[in-house]
Amino acid sequence: MLRIDYDSHALKRLIKRSCYFGIDQEEAFIRVRETLAESRRSKTKYSKCNHVYYKYYYDNISFFVVVHKKNACWIIKTVIMKRGRE
């Protein structure tokens, strides 16, 4: 089973940005899991040692999730939320 952990920076940023965009915190956590479940790699954002996943949502908000993979555990390093598409 895949385990997902949040880095403290990612958790704080997710809560702060979800309030800024008017998204409930629970909805933001669900969207992060959906973004990882689709596993679509980002074309514009990249990292040398981490994987960046992307998903665009119907309310014009894009989620970028930066993940470090360790065996059966994925550690979310940061979550980037912005208006518009990639």
Summarize the confidence of residues 44-68 as an average pLDDT. Answer: 86
Task: Write the CB contacts of 8 (distance below 8 Å, at least 6 apart in sequence).
Answer: none
Q: Which CATH number do you get for residue 37?
A: 3.30.2310
How much is the mean pLDDT over the chain? 87
Q: How much is the pTM?
A: 0.83
User: Does residue 29 contact residue 14 with C-beta atoms inside 8 Å?
Assistant: yes
State the DSSP code for 71: T
- At 9 the three-state DSSP class reads helix
Report pLDDT digits (tens) over 14-41.
999 999 999 999 999 999 989 888 878 8
Spatial distance between the Cα atoms of 38 and 48, rounded to a whole number of angstroms: 21
Number of domains comprising the chain: 1
Spatial distance between the Cα atoms of 22 and 35, rounded to a whole number of angstroms: 19
86 pLDDT band (50/70/90 cuts)?
A: low
| Domain assignment of residue 79, given as a range | 3-83
